Chain A
């Protein structure tokens, strides 16, 4: 086949690509968000990232009361990934509201506040407390943190999950996102439960449980013995989870897990994610979210699409 002439572009120009997406009642300027626990309280990133370009920010999960978090070592690198057991180190919801919220809510981007309760009632109480505040686009229920006991039950038991999402929806005017764990037999069943509870969107995955050992000392490497695996190593697991959840429910999916480049983002969109969150990559390439945003319109244009709807969930499996 003859080479096409050099002046003839084979790629559709990206000029008219519309990046807006909606997640239930939440409207985002674009599908690129940053994941809870991997972007601090955003203030830290001010010199490296133009926060207003992000589709949204999910700050570190907050709890009802202050938590000092787990003893070090809290992270350890593993092949193409890392294990963490931070243990939800945070200052509690009241100090979050007084000290971090004013900054976060005025960044010209969607603010999604991640919360974790020890009990059903604590989750609901926190969702209520946030409803009294302005500037919050959505609440993400972290029912999937592997590093604190309690939290994960809501993410592994379908009826607890549905009841929790539904109660938070009833008691809060702010849209609700349920963040799911991959450490279950059926991600699809959990997604259906969150959907039945009325979730505006479902984000997945949180980290995969794992551990690392120093055999010479016969010691675990993490202070907490086990932790959560993240980074490129878990991307195939996350893609599978997004694909299965998207087929099982109509509720929009936010894909998370090992996303580092624009190609990764496109894979998640095609698999069925309406938006994505960048996590661990912020640690080793702090400008990754900006690089992805720079490259995204052209990648969408390459598929001949002009908006995200023409891409999301278009995986061809025949």
Chain B
């Protein structure tokens, strides 16, 4: 490609992860299944997107042929679905109903059209690690099925497929408000993820905060061989970042900043990050993240 592009990629001003493999597709809902209270899994066929997307990346999803809601919304890859020949051909997104688009999506049926564009953002690190500890708060669990599968050597993602040296152990510390909001348990257990649940009301797993579970996992295992990948409410991610620092464990967080475009052109998804000179600047979550080294975030 041209020099101009090369220089803009190296530029300190240019984003780290332009949506360079992104495309826009009109797709059709093939399944929309309720998993838990207010929680659904929508499936649509899109072989191009399913082939290229990697864990921690996201896509923008918009209801087709309507101005209401007008904008797309960001959703993480839950997992890809393979066809009979073993090639990725469909995408699963798991979502919680919180507002206008998610409520309308929950009412959508097989055959309804949606617009999607992706893959977007950077995804989680593919660096080898002995023990990957994934920490989820609520619907923040969605990126972790694909990531867990990848690190357990069960599934490959991307073109050419990312080669990841399997981890010895993958743990998911998953905090929910209550049992009725718990989703994906069969999927997580089915692929060999060590699942540690916490609930605010004690209706399932540890009665208390997910951060307490993370502390326990880090103390019972050798922290020196661990890395944390975290997604959930901001306060929870900040707390997990603090625990990671205390145990000297590297930690990535996936931010859920509201977005209008997902591709870096609106500058609405900004987050305060530390610059090399120690000052802070706003960075676009969609093209610099959504996955950040937790030490870069000015919480």
* Interface residue ranges, A against B (CB under 8 Å): 37-40, 43-48, 60, 68-69, 72-75, 77, 79-82, 84, 86, 89, 91, 95, 99-100, 102-103, 106, 231-232, 280, 282-287
Query: Do A60 and B267 touch across chains, with their CB atoms under 8 A apart?
Result: yes
Segment from B84-92, B103-111, B180-188, B257-265 that makes contact with A: B257-265
Say yes or no: A282-B261 contact (C-beta < 8 A), given A38-B266, A69-B282.
yes
Query: Do B260 and A75 touch across chains, with their CB atoms under 8 A apart?
Result: yes
Per-position binary interface string of chain B over residues 66-84, scored 1 when its CB falls under 8 Å from any chain A CB and 0 otherwise? 0111111000000000000
Segment from B11-19, B133-141, B142-150 that makes contact with A: B11-19
Query: Do B282 and A68 touch across chains, with their CB atoms under 8 A apart?
Result: yes
Q: Which secondary structure dominates where chain A touches chain B?
A: loop
Query: Do A40 and B62 touch across chains, with their CB atoms under 8 A apart?
Result: no
Given contacts A86-B267, A103-B8, 6 further A-B contacts (CB under 8 A): A44-B18, A69-B267, A72-B257, A84-B268, A283-B71, A283-B72
- The answer to the question of B22 belonging to the interface, with a C-beta cut-off of 8 Å to chain A, is yes
Give chain A residues whose Cβ lies under 8 Å from the Cβ of B282: 68-69, 89
Query: Do A72 and B2 touch across chains, with their CB atoms under 8 A apart?
Result: no
Q: Which parts of B114-162 form the interface with A (CB within 8 Å)?
A: 115, 117
- The answer to the question of B21 belonging to the interface, with a C-beta cut-off of 8 Å to chain A, is yes
Give chain B residues whose Cβ lies under 8 Å from the Cβ of A100: 8, 13
Minimal beta-carbon separation of B70 from chain A (angstroms): 6
Say yes or no: A47-B20 contact (C-beta < 8 A), given A60-B267, A86-B267, A232-B70.
yes
Say yes or no: A38-B265 contact (C-beta < 8 A), given A47-B22, A73-B258, A283-B260.
yes
Partner of A74, one of B7, B100, B268, B287: B268
Question: How far apart sit A103 and B264, CA to CA, in the bound complex (Å)?
Answer: 16
Query: Do A75 and B266 touch across chains, with their CB atoms under 8 A apart?
Result: yes
- The answer to the question of B24 belonging to the interface, with a C-beta cut-off of 8 Å to chain A, is yes
Question: How far apart sit A231 and B261, CA to CA, in the bound complex (Å)?
Answer: 13
- The answer to the question of B163 belonging to the interface, with a C-beta cut-off of 8 Å to chain A, is no
The 3 closest A-B pairs by CB, nearest first: A44-B264, A40-B265, A75-B268
Minimal beta-carbon separation of A82 from chain B (angstroms): 6
Give chain A residues whose Cβ lies under 8 Å from the Cβ of B268: 72-75, 84, 86
Question: How far apart sit A102 and B13, CA to CA, in the bound complex (Å)?
Answer: 13
Question: How far apart sit A95 and B12, CA to CA, in the bound complex (Å)?
Answer: 10
Chain A, residue nearest B18 (CB) = A44
Give chain A residues whose Cβ lies under 8 Å from the Cβ of B267: 37, 40, 60, 69, 74, 86, 89
**Most chain-B Cβ atoms within 10 A of its Cβ — which of A37, A74, A81?**
A74
Minimal beta-carbon separation of B15 from chain A (angstroms): 7
Question: How far apart sit A69 and B268, CA to CA, in the bound complex (Å)?
Answer: 10
Question: How far apart sit A40 and B96, CA to CA, in the bound complex (Å)?
Answer: 30
- The answer to the question of B248 belonging to the interface, with a C-beta cut-off of 8 Å to chain A, is no
Give chain B residues whose Cβ lies under 8 Å from the Cβ of A74: 267-268, 270
Query: Do A102 and B14 touch across chains, with their CB atoms under 8 A apart?
Result: no
Question: How far apart sit A59 and B71, CA to CA, in the bound complex (Å)?
Answer: 21
Partner of A284, one of B4, B21, B71, B258: B71
Query: Do B261 and A286 touch across chains, with their CB atoms under 8 A apart?
Result: yes
Query: Do A43 and B24 touch across chains, with their CB atoms under 8 A apart?
Result: no
Say yes or no: A72-B270 contact (C-beta < 8 A), given A44-B287, A232-B70.
yes
Say yes or no: A80-B67 contact (C-beta < 8 A), given A48-B22, A284-B62.
yes
Partner of B24, one of A73, A99, A286: A286
- The answer to the question of B281 belonging to the interface, with a C-beta cut-off of 8 Å to chain A, is yes
Chain A, residue nearest B100 (CB) = A77
Query: Do B8 and A99 touch across chains, with their CB atoms under 8 A apart?
Result: yes
Partner of B15, one of A37, A44, A232, A285: A44
Give chain A residues whose Cβ lies under 8 Å from the Cβ of B281: 68
- The answer to the question of B23 belonging to the interface, with a C-beta cut-off of 8 Å to chain A, is yes
Chain B, residue nearest A95 (CB) = B13
- The answer to the question of B5 belonging to the interface, with a C-beta cut-off of 8 Å to chain A, is yes
Give chain B residues whose Cβ lies under 8 Å from the Cβ of A95: 13
Minimal beta-carbon separation of B155 from chain A (angstroms): 25
Say yes or no: A285-B115 contact (C-beta < 8 A), given A43-B8, A81-B70.
yes
Give chain B residues whose Cβ lies under 8 Å from the Cβ of A84: 260, 266, 268
Chain A, residue nearest B117 (CB) = A286
Question: How far apart sit A60 and B13, CA to CA, in the bound complex (Å)?
Answer: 14
Give chain B residues whose Cβ lies under 8 Å from the Cβ of A232: 67, 70
Minimal beta-carbon separation of A309 from chain B (angstroms): 32
Partner of B70, one of A37, A77, A91: A77
Minimal beta-carbon separation of A245 from chain B (angstroms): 26
Question: How far apart sit A287 and B19, CA to CA, in the bound complex (Å)?
Answer: 14
Give chain A residues whose Cβ lies under 8 Å from the Cβ of B14: 43, 99
**Most chain-B Cβ atoms within 10 A of its Cβ — which of A38, A68, A89, A103?**
A103
Sample (15) of A-B pairs whose CB atoms are under 8 Å apart: A38-B265, A44-B263, A47-B20, A69-B270, A73-B258, A80-B67, A86-B266, A99-B7, A99-B14, A100-B8, A102-B3, A102-B7, A282-B261, A283-B265, A285-B115
Chain B, residue nearest A280 (CB) = B70
Per-position binary interface string of chain B over residues 45-66, scored 1 when its CB falls under 8 Å from any chain A CB and 0 otherwise? 0000000000000000010000
Chain A, residue nearest B6 (CB) = A103
Chain A, residue nearest B280 (CB) = A68
Query: Do A99 and B13 touch across chains, with their CB atoms under 8 A apart?
Result: yes
Chain B, residue nearest A89 (CB) = B267
Give chain A residues whose Cβ lies under 8 Å from the Cβ of B115: 285
Give chain A residues whose Cβ lies under 8 Å from the Cβ of B67: 80, 231-232
